[in-house]
């Protein structure tokens, strides 16, 4: 039962992303064929970068939907993926606890528990008992001739939210911007924030014209929309006038 660390890898992204966004956006305002705009745009990447940066800052986001990124993610908990799949404008392929036996499942340890020796021991003891119970259930089912996914799908009911899982995530750029605006915020749950921060770092490297100023809402707004009660203090809170 090993602890597992977060790992994020970019599997794929749309080719010629800058040209594609540029052509899609220009098509909205041009009588010219987007195919011709696309080919000519490749000749001047600096022009495209300036134009797209301006478009993103203006809030014209629909052209961003034509470009997508696909990530492989491991070392995250089932608690995280329950949050992640609420972002519905995305595609997900997650490791199945029905087809993958969890007879030695990996797990995630929350930081508050990890830094407290007494809490950590209790956490690990609970996980150990769950593992023993899961394996015992598989054994009992096997004795009755129930094996494979038929046994796994029922024994998995005792597994914890802290059990490690793996998932493939595909989002278009517009949805990624929305995802980062929510999950990079300091108020986001720590684990999904760590995932979002890792994904954002990759996106900034791959497509800086779009993602250079992406992140929590306050990055674009230059004020905190969370109010006095919840602000982290990074940006001033917008004053509401009556």
Going 101 to 122 to 81 to 204, the CA torsion angle's sign is: negative
Closest CA to 63 of 38, 92, 46, 40: 38
Report the run of H or E that residue 71 belongs to, with start and end: strand 68-77
Which runs of consecutive H residues, i.e. helices, occur in 148-206?
149-155, 173-183, 190-206
Query: Which of left, alpha, beta for 75 (phi over 0: left; psi -120 to 50: alpha)?
Result: left
Q: Which residue has the tokens 């010629």?
A: 16
> String of b and e for 188-201 (b: at least 16 CB within 10 Å)?
beebbbbbbbbbbe
183 in catalytic set: yes
For the beta carbon of residue 138, count every other beta carbon within 10 angstroms: 20
Cα(81)–Cα(161) distance, rounded to whole angstroms? 10
Choice among 88, 136, 183, 234 that is catalytic: 183
Q: Supply angle C-alpha 166, 17, 86, rounded to 5.
A: 35
Which pair of structure tokens corresponds to residue 1? 């039962």
* Residue positions annotated with a catalytic role: 183
């Amino acid at each position: 039962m090993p602890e597992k660390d977060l790992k994020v890898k970019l599997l794929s992204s749309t080719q010629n992303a800058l040209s594609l966004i540029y052509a899609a956006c220009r098509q909205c305002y041009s009588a010219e064929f987007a195919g011709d705009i696309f080919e000519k745009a490749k000749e001047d990447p600096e022009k495209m970068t300036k134009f797209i940066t301006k478009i993103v800052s203006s809030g014209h986001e629909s052209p961003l939907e034509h470009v997508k990124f696909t990530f492989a993610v491991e070392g995250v908990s089932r608690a995280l993926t329950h949050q992640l799949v609420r972002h519905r404008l995305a595609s997900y392929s997650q490791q199945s606890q029905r087809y993958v036996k969890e007879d030695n499942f990996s797990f995630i340890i929350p930081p508050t528990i990890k830094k407290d020796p007494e809490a950590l021991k209790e956490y690990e003891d609970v996980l150990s008992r769950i593992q023993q119970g899961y394996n015992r259930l598989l054994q009992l089912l096997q004795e009755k001739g129930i094996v494979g996914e038929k046994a796994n799908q029922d024994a998995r009911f005792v597994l914890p939210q802290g059990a490690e899982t793996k998932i493939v995530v595909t989002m278009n750029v517009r949805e990624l911007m929305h995802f980062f605006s929510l999950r990079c915020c300091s108020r986001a749950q720590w684990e999904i924030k760590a995932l979002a921060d890792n994904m954002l770092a990759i996106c900034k490297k791959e497509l800086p014209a779009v993602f250079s100023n992406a992140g929590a809402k306050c990055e674009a707004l230059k004020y905190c929309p969370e109010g006095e009660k919840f602000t982290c203090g990074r940006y001033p809170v917008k004053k509401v006038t009556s």
